[in-house]
């Protein structure tokens, strides 16, 4: 007795075609709407996508505006081998994506100053101080000696107080007799001092000449000329109209 099984191959091919139909439809997803998909509880930490090839995927029509991925964990995903060079995302709409937690952009209004050292200010003690704005004082004696022929002491001294940009300067020069009437002939000035350039300083103030017993208004320029020549130039206008010019140059 012979039994012919004719319907089985036909049934098998039909079943195979029916199974392949949903797979073919699943492969075409360019027009799928993911706006209602909630993936907040999905854990991708164990997914290995290093061998996946995304070069042929077309996501230009996909709408991700309504996708909530705030709870997704991507910390363990290895995407080092993924190729995104051919992915076309020109049609993707990112206008509704919430990226407020991402670093970058303008700081919030209550952001801490970046000058802080981890938010800890300097302590009460040991605060640094810039020397440029600190008021200081100084005294210099350019000439101090005894002249035996005339029995007199010659002197020239300068004292100042202030900063590198503003100073009050007191200067005196002259001679004092040690015998007879012991007269003191000196020219003293009190002036405001200020730098004019890198090598030159200006000063202006009042002066008094004990030899003539007259007061004057003075102005001058003091600095270093080329070849390190110390140069002084001062003009004095006395109350009686007389003018005195003092010029000096030194090289050490």
Is 244:238 a contact under the CB 8 Å cutoff? Answer: yes
Q: Which residue has the higher pLDDT, 122 or 174?
A: 174
For residue 117, the SS3 value is strand
Neighbour-count burial for 147-167, b at 16+ CB within 10 Å, e otherwise: eeeeebeebbebebebeeeeb
* Strand duo 136-147 + 152-162: pairing: antiparallel
In the structure, what pLDDT confidence band is assigned to residue 180 with cuts at 50, 70 and 90? Answer: confident
> Does some domain include residue 32?
no
Judging by beta carbons within 10 Å of its beta carbon (0-12, 13-18, 19+), is residue 2 exposed, middle or buried?
A: exposed
- Place 39 in a pLDDT band, splitting at 50, 70 and 90: low
Has residue 173 been placed in a domain?
Answer: yes
Residue 25: inside a domain: no
Query: Bigger pLDDT: 2 or 173?
Result: 173
Q: Is residue 195 part of a domain?
A: yes
Three-state secondary structure call for residue 11: helix
With a cut of 90, say whether residue 111 has pLDDT above it: no
Domain limits for position 219: 135-251
The Cα diameter of the chain in Å comes to 167
Number of domains in the chain: 1
Instruction: Indicate whether 56 belongs to any domain.
Output: no
pLDDT-based confidence at 239, cuts 50/70/90? Answer: very high
- In whole angstroms, how large is the CA radius of gyration of the chain? 46
For residue 243, being part of any structural domain is answered with yes
Whole-structure pTM value: 0.49
- Is 229 within a domain? yes
Q: Please check whether residue 182 lies inside any domain of the structure.
A: yes
């Amino acid at each position: 007795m012979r039994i012919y099984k004719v319907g089985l191959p036909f049934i098998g091919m039909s079943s195979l075609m029916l199974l392949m139909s949903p797979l073919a439809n699943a492969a075409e997803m360019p027009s799928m709407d993911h706006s209602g998909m909630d993936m907040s509880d999905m854990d991708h930490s164990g997914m290995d996508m290093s061998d996946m090839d995304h070069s042929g995927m077309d996501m230009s029509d996909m709408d991700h505006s309504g996708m909530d991925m705030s709870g997704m964990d991507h910390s363990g995903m290895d995407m080092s081998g993924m190729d995104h060079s051919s992915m076309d995302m020109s049609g993707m709409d990112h206008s509704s994506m919430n990226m407020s937690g991402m670093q970058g952009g303008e700081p919030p209004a209550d952001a801490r100053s970046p000058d802080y050292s981890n938010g800890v200010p300097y302590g009460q003690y040991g605060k640094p101080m810039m020397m440029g704005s600190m008021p200081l004082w100084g005294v210099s004696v350019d000439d101090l000696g005894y002249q035996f022929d005339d029995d007199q002491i010659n002197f020239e001294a300068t004292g100042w107080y202030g900063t590198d940009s503003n100073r009050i300067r007191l200067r005196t020069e002259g001679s004092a007799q040690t015998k007879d009437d012991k007269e003191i002939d000196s020219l003293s000035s009190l002036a405001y001092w200020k730098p004019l350039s890198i090598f030159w300083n200006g000063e202006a103030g009042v002066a008094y000449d004990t030899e003539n017993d007259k007061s004057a208004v003075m102005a001058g320029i003091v600095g270093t000329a080329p070849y390190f020549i110390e140069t002084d130039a001062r003009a004095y206008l006395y109350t009686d109209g007389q003018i005195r010019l003092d010029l000096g140059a030194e090289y050490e």
